[in-house]
Structure 1
Amino acid sequence: MRIGLLGTGPWAERVHAPVLAEHPGLEFAGVWGRRPEAATALGAAHGVPGYAELDRLLAEVDAVSIALPPAVQAGLALRAAEAGRHLLLDKPVALTVPDARAVAEAVRAHKVASVVFFTVRFGGDQLPWIEQQAARGGWFTGRSDWLGSVFAPGSTSPYAASPWRLEKGALWDVGPHALSVLLPVLGDATRVTAVAGPLDTVHLVLRHAGGASSTLALSLTAPAGAGGTGMELRGEHGVVQLPERSEGPVAALHRALDALLASAATGEPHPCGADFGLRVVEILAGAEHSLAIGGPVEV
């Protein structure tokens, strides 16, 4: 599979480009970016060309890996799907439900494979844990804390300069990660209630289709000493916790690309594809609406 990279920022440079160059099932074909000089520089670092024109890159690849802000990603993913190119998408797939729906509909209409890259969903210890807990069932409630310090005083995070994260906050940045684990285990959400906490912090309560409930605490502004992630499930089998991450996003992206290759080969949609990405956006939009009206929202 010949694959192109869309994006030249820190996420593209640190994770996507090295993985695309290393993955044994792929041929890294080139880089496109909104700044052609950056695309040329990143491509040169991995021995591939930079492209100034997106359509030219799309004409020469079978798939694209997108490492761009969600508001930009949606339109480009739509163009790539319409060109018949498979999609490795980043989370969230879009910042509005109509944009996310357009991507999902294009994937179905043009019969291309899609995978949304949630780092924890494709973690080496987390992926089998998620599958095991989903198979066991019988869960009563879940709790998920995703407390980051990207915008905390003294932060040195390379993502602190991200305008969309600054504007949309933890709900849209780390909220998708929490949902990518909770939904496969507890079932789809039917209702969400959101309450604002300090700064960008938000607390969610979800009702799931199978009867379980869950709570989420999300932040990008937690003090450095208070940051961290964790997930706990309680049910018929007692109490279990999501394994701590023991690897970085590079290994997870390799697994996500394996999933894309398998979906493209078999024609079977991946459970973490564009339709799941749309569902996550619908729930996040419902939470945003709940914050605005001060009450629960059916999703």
Structure 2
Amino acid sequence: MRIGLLGTGPWAAMAHAPALSEHPAVDFAGVWGRRPSAAKELADRFGTRAYDDVDALFADVDAVAVALPPAVQAELAVRAARAGRHLLLDKPLATTVEQGRAVVDAVREAQVASVVFFTSRFVTGTEAWISAQADTGGWFTARAEWLGSLYGSDSDSPFAASPWRREKGALWDVGPHALSVLLPVLGDARRVTAAAPGPGDTVHLVLDHAGGASSSLTLSLSAPAAAAGTAVELRGESGVAVLPTSEEGAVTALVHAADALLTAVGTGRPHACDAAFGLRVTEILAEAEALLDGRTG
């Protein structure tokens, strides 16, 4: 599969480009970015071609991987799908329901494959745990804590200056990760029953799930470095289950996501983390955002 990369920022350079470059079944065909000089620099680093025209890249590839802000991703994903290109997208799919639905509609109409990169769903150990807990069932409640220190006083993260993260905060950045773990285990969220702000960009959510369980989520990019980390705990008829840690990094997980896209293309069967799932995550987060903004009762 010939695949092009859209995006030249830190995430594209640290994760997407290395994964596409090392994947044995992928031809990393080129890079397009909103800054042509950055596209050339990244392309030269990985021995591929820089494109000034995104439509020219679409014409030369079978698929695109996207490492761009959500609003830009959604717009270009629609254009790529309409050009008949398969999609390896990042989370969140979009930050409005309308944008997300436009991507899903374009994917369906063009009959292309799509995979959204929710990291935990493509890390071997955590995906196996998620599948095992979904099979176990009988869960009563769950809690998820996704705490980053992006905006901590001692942070030197290259993502701290990201405009869309500063605008949308932890709800939209790490919220998708938490939902990607909880939804396949507990069932769809029938509603967000509570949402409250905390320190910095911290938010607290309570979800009512179709399987009968409830879950609480604490999401932040403002935690002190010493307090940062991820934890998911399930409690139910079989006892307590805790999400395991893993040594697999983002590059390996993205290689697995590319594998998933190849499988979806080859079989014609949608992946569990396709654009439709990405849209559902967007809908839940938009509902939570409305509660936090006081736009609903």
Shorter-chain TM-score category?
over 0.9
Give 1:248 deviation, angstroms: 1.2
Distance in 2 separating the partners of 1:228 and 1:270? 28
Q: TM-score, normalised by structure 1?
A: 0.97
| Residue aligning to 2:129 | 129
Aligned: 1:160 with 2:152: no
| Residue aligning to 1:278 | 279
Matched residue type, 2:242: Q
SS at 1:280 equivalent? helix
| Residue aligning to 2:150 | 150
Give 1:295 deviation, angstroms: 6.6
Task: Output one character per residue of 1:56-96: Cα deviation in whole Å (capped at 9) or x when no partner.
Answer: 00000000000001011000000000000000000001110
Q: TM-score, normalised by structure 2?
A: 0.98
Distance in 2 separating the partners of 1:37 and 1:292? 39
What are the residue-to-residue correspondences of 1:162-177 with 2, within 5 Å? 162-177=162-177
| Residue aligning to 1:238 | 239
The gaps in structure 2 that reach 5 residues or longer are none
| Residue aligning to 1:45 | 45
Q: Residues 26 and 282 (structure 1 numbering): CA distance in 2 closer, same or farther, change over 3 Å?
A: same
| Residue aligning to 2:116 | 116
| Residue aligning to 1:7 | 7
SS at 1:293 equivalent? coil
The gaps in structure 1 that reach 5 residues or longer are none
Distance in 1 separating the partners of 2:65 and 2:263? 15
| Residue aligning to 2:203 | 202
- Aligned-pair identity in percent equals 66
Distance in 2 separating the partners of 1:124 and 1:135? 17
Distance in 2 separating the partners of 1:207 and 1:181? 15
Task: Output one character per residue of 1:165-185: Cα deviation in whole Å (capped at 9) or x when no partner.
Answer: 111000000000000000000
| Residue aligning to 2:185 | 185
The answer to whether the 8 A contact 1:195-1:294 is kept is no
SS at 1:222 equivalent? coil
Distance in 1 separating the partners of 2:142 and 2:123? 19
Give 1:112 deviation, angstroms: 0.4
Aligned: 1:249 with 2:250: yes
Give 1:40 deviation, angstroms: 1.0
Distance in 2 separating the partners of 1:35 and 1:292? 34
Distance in 2 separating the partners of 1:48 and 1:255? 21
Distance in 1 separating the partners of 2:14 and 2:175? 22
Give 1:294 deviation, angstroms: 7.8
| Residue aligning to 1:90 | 90
Aligned residues: 296
Task: Output one character per residue of 1:252-293: Cα deviation in whole Å (capped at 9) or x when no partner.
Answer: 111111000000011111110000000000000000011122
SS at 2:190 equivalent? strand
